[in-house]
């Protein structure tokens, strides 16, 4: 595919980054409970610490990601990508050295701090890099390919975690993080800020694309900021059109439900079906393979026929069903079946990113992608405040009704709000308005 040729080194970097970051996902629940509540199948302390970490990480990403995205518009994508690539090494190194209570708390603190930079910024900067290199007509497919490669890295790391002992898994993840940073520094090429994606034929149809014939158009729609973007500047960007506003609402509520689902699901499965590391790995493997296949093959096929807006509605519908089916799982094999819904639900994020990307010019991609990531991070701050105590209550013996998956159903209702908002996004609004 043309997207692979244009983004080769970025895709390798994304694969390696996800391989290192996600390798500990299948084992972190057992590591956490082994360090905090050894010998138990339910641990409220572990659930609350996970929720606190998610909240702090989301709050930090809310503040830092728009700043990092804006700085990348000025100083380059590669220069800023070095930050998450390097920061991700530290917590993995601690976990590789030891997994007792003391080492776990050291990992927990450093992971919480570094994740504020790593998780949101890596995706934001990489998507801006894609927008710089790929013309608008092929951008949705390129976003899908990039997300698919990230999912492939997740699949590879899950397979490794499935067969490698816990101690070796953490060590391999730390080594992979070092290799990722070195590869990015050695091979990834800086972009030209998106100027190459503006062909002569596109200048007439893309009013925010910077034409070479007019010196008045050399500054982007939003002038380069000499300081970190303020909340009022971010709000002005997001309210500049109804598409921006509704995409922000969809991002928030989908992020709220998705974060609530992902951060409570493994504890729910352990409490109800006594899942262990290998079963977590099997479930995550199904999700990863299905998601990677969907983004690499299904999305490039469906986007030209349906468009991003219709595909977004379909993906959000699948995401709602995904959460509701988890909540009523009656046997250990039901979560494995439910994981197949990822083939559609995983397309939500690349669809939103593509819609937003087409609303701004080439020198604004880092800023707008950072804003959307910041909104998602806001959801990550609020989500644990709601779902952490709710999950702990539902899984405890004090709950007045027997529905351990009630918190997962609430995550489905949050996604339902995003679905209702996406239906109000008329296809015509996805097109970029003419500049006055």
Homologous superfamily, domain 1-190: MFS general substrate transporter like domains (1.20.1250.20)
Sketch the domain layout of the chain as residue ranges.
Answer: 1-190, 232-427
Fold of 232-427: Growth Hormone; Chain: A; (1.20.1250)
Q: What is the pLDDT of residues 204-226, one digit of tens each?
A: 334 334 333 333 333 334 344 44
What whole-number distance in Å separates Cα of residue 342 and Cα of residue 66?
28
Q: How many helices (H) and strands (E) does the chain have?
A: 19, 0
Mean pLDDT along residues 173-183: 92
Return the beta strands (E) in 15-62 as ranges. none
DSSP for 367-389 reads HHHHHHHHHHHHHHHHHHHHHHH
pTM of the model: 0.67
Q: Is the pLDDT of residue 180 over 90?
A: yes
If one compares 50 and 196, the residue with the highest pLDDT of the two is: 50
Query: What mean pLDDT is reported for the chain?
Result: 76
DSSP for 64-101 reads HHHHHHHHHHHH-HHHHHHHHHHHTHHHHHHHHH--SH
How remote is the C-alpha of 385 from its chain's centroid? 20
> Any idea which of 4-8, 23-27, 426-430 has the lowest mean pLDDT?
426-430
pLDDT score at 15: 92
Closest of 243, 231, 256, 240 to residue 66, by C-alpha: 231
Residues 231, 124, 51, 112: what is their CA dihedral angle, to the nearest 10 degrees? Answer: -100
pLDDT score at 204: 36
The answer for 216, left when phi > 0, alpha when psi is -120 to 50, beta otherwise, is alpha
Q: What is the pLDDT of residues 10-24, one digit of tens each?
A: 999 999 998 998 888
Q: What is the pLDDT of residues 114-125, one digit of tens each?
A: 888 777 788 888
Q: What is the pLDDT of residues 144-165, one digit of tens each?
A: 888 888 888 888 888 888 788 8
Q: What is the pLDDT of residues 246-276, one digit of tens each?
A: 888 888 898 888 888 877 777 777 777 777 6
| 306: Cα within 13 Å, side-chain hemisphere | 18
395-398 contacts, C-beta under 8 A, 24 or more apart: 395/42, 395/47, 395/267, 395/268, 395/271, 396/42, 396/44
- Token pair recorded at residue 75: 């100083």
Q: Is the pLDDT of residue 74 over 60?
A: yes
Contact present, 375 and 339 (Cβ < 8 Å):
no
| Same fold? 1-190, 232-427 | yes
């Amino acid at each position: 595919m043309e997207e692979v040729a244009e983004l080769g080194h970025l895709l390798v970097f994304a694969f390696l980054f996800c391989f290192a970051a996600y390798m500990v996902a299948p084992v972190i629940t057992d590591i956490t409970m082994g360090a905090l509540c050894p010998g138990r199948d339910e641990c409220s302390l572990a659930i609350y610490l996970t929720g606190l970490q998610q909240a702090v990480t989301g709050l930090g990403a809310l503040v830092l990601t728009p700043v990092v995205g804006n700085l990348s518009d000025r100083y380059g994508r590669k220069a800023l990508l070095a930050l998450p690539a390097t920061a991700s090494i530290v917590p993995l190194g601690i976990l590789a050295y030891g997994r007792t209570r003391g080492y776990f708390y050291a990992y927990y603190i450093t992971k919480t701090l570094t994740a504020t930079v790593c998780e949101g910024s890596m995706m934001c900067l990489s998507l801006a890099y894609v927008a710089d290199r790929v013309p608008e007509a092929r951008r949705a497919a390129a976003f899908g390919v990039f997300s698919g490669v990230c999912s492939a890295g997740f699949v590879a790391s899950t397979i490794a975690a499935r067969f490698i002992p816990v101690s070796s898994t953490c060590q391999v993840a730390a080594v992979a993080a070092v290799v990722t940073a070195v590869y990015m520094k050695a091979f990834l090429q800086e972009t030209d800020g998106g100027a190459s994606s503006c062909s002569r034929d596109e200048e007439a149809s893309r009013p925010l694309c910077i034409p070479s014939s007019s010196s008045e158009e050399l500054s982007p729609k939003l002038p380069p900021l000499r300081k970190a973007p303020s909340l009022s500047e971010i709000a002005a960007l997001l309210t500049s059109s109804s598409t921006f506003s509704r995409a922000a609402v969809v991002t928030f509520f989908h992020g709220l439900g998705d974060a609530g689902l992902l951060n409570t699901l493994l504890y729910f499965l352990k409490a109800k079906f006594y899942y262990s590391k290998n079963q977590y790995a099997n479930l995550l493997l199904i999700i990863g393979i299905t998601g990677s296949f969907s983004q690499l093959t299904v999305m490039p096929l469906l986007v030209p026929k349906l468009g991003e807006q219709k595909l977004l509605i379909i993906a959000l519908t699948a995401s709602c069903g995904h959460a509701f089916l988890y909540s009523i799982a009656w046997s250990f094999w039901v979560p494995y079946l439910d994981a197949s819904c990822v083939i559609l639900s995983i397309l939500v994020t690349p669809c939103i990113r593509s819609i937003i990307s087409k609303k701004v010019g080439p020198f604004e991609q880092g800023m707008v992608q950072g804003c959307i990531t910041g909104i998602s991070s806001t959801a990550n701050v609020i989500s644990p405040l709601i779902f952490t105590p709710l999950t702990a209550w539902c899984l405890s013996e004090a709950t007045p009704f027997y529905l351990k998956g009630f918190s997962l159903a609430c995550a489905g209702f949050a996604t339902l709000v995003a679905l209702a908002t996406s239906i109000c996004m008329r296809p015509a609004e996805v097109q970029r308005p003419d500049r006055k």
